[in-house]
Amino acid sequence: MPTFLTTAKMSPALRARVEASVSGRRVHSQRALAPRSIAALRALAVLALLGGLLAIALQVRRVDHEVEAARSALLERWQRESVGLTPRHKALPPRAQRWLSEAAGPRFTDEISAELSAPGSLHAVLARPIVYVRGELADMRTSVRLDDAARESVTDAFVLCLMDPPAQRTEKALLGRVRSAYAGGARMQHATAHVAHLGDGLVGLPLLDHGFRARITQARDLRELHELRRTFERAPIERAKRAAKAAVLLFAIDEPGSATKPTELDGERPHHVRVGLVDLEKDKVLLKLRRHVDPSWLSDATRAEYARGADSCTLAMDVRSALSST
């Protein structure tokens, strides 16, 4: 059909397509692919699609396999590390928090149980596996602050002098024990080998609880599982298990110091300390004592460097004296 849309200068093929478009006719290109070629191309397209889908499926399967392998390995390690721990062992963090929160409360009074009244009973109690913590009064009242304080708590001169007191209450005798505690030498290691740190238990034991196991089973991908594995590897698991199996909780809680007295270079100043022993197997308080410490009687040289250690040692001797007088 002639149309004004075509001109004599157009190529015959272009003019034919325009006229066909106007009239509604279909023009077959001389270069159109043969039916066999079209079928082959369609087959290749289908094969490419199927190949892509297969590759995706294999990749998904490989990733799933890696996820399950990582999950199984972590669960196996969790199970292995949990062997020998009872629910009561794993509950040390909230149990210790309860005792310490109570000891940091306003109604702390001296108390010595009948079990500690007999001669040699303190030695027997102190020979049992012990978990120890020392911190400021305000830090013992909440679990969050207790976690931070317990991580910083170490086996100090108080523990050494309680286990292995000096023969005399003189500056020279105290200084010898304090130096041993600071150096961490053979005397310190021998006397306190059975003493674990509560901080290790607070960090490690939650990872051996069923809540952490549930996080492993519910992890969705490798990234999450790898993060859980790194958390597990960084935790002091072995030391946490020692803390969990302790039979006695030993604590020392420092009350705020006197604002009217000078503070020594190591931060020590006159203040009261609350000391306690709790039988964790019987859930029973064995000892509660509140004693005052003051480094002002020490010589200037000793006080400048060892004020806190000397106060800690005299505190331990005060505890032993209180029990020997009952």
pLDDT in tens, 290-301: 999 999 999 999
Reported pTM: 0.80
Q: What is the mean pLDDT of residues 67-73?
A: 92
Q: Is the pLDDT of residue 228 over 80?
A: yes
The answer to the question of residue 207 being in a domain is yes
* Residue 313: predicted pLDDT: 97
The answer to the question of residue 225 being in a domain is yes
* Residue 105: predicted pLDDT: 94
Q: Is the pLDDT of residue 130 over 80?
A: yes
CA distance 223 to 288: 48
Lowest mean pLDDT of 36-40, 221-225, 264-268, name the range.
36-40
Taking the alpha carbons of 169, 173, 175, 180 in that order, is the dihedral positive or negative? Answer: negative
* Domain region containing 148: 84-324
Residue 79 CB contacts under 8 Å (≥ 6 apart), including other chains:
none
DSSP category for residue 196: E
* Residue 266: predicted pLDDT: 80
The answer to the question of residue 254 being in a domain is yes
The answer to the question of residue 44 being in a domain is no
The answer to the question of residue 48 being in a domain is no
The answer to the question of residue 152 being in a domain is yes
- Residue 287: φ, ψ to 5°: -155, 135
Average confidence score pLDDT of the chain: 87
* Residue 267: predicted pLDDT: 86
Q: What is the mean pLDDT of residues 241-262?
A: 93
Q: What is the dihedral of CA 212, 218, 220, 226, to 10 degrees?
A: 20
* Residue 43: predicted pLDDT: 64
Grade residue 158 by pLDDT with cuts at 50, 70 and 90.
very high
Q: Pick 293 or 4 by higher pLDDT.
A: 293
Q: Is the pLDDT of residue 27 over 50?
A: no
The answer to the question of residue 153 being in a domain is yes
Q: Is the pLDDT of residue 33 over 70?
A: no
Q: Is the pLDDT of residue 1 over 80?
A: no
Q: Is the pLDDT of residue 175 over 80?
A: yes
**Count of domains for the chain:** 1
Q: Is the pLDDT of residue 11 over 80?
A: no
Give the residues across from 111 on adjacent strands. 288
Grade residue 65 by pLDDT with cuts at 50, 70 and 90.
confident
Lowest mean pLDDT of 16-30, 66-80, 106-120, name the range.
16-30
Residue 256 burial (CB < 10 Å; 0-12/13-18/19+)? exposed
Q: What is the mean pLDDT of residues 137-161?
A: 93
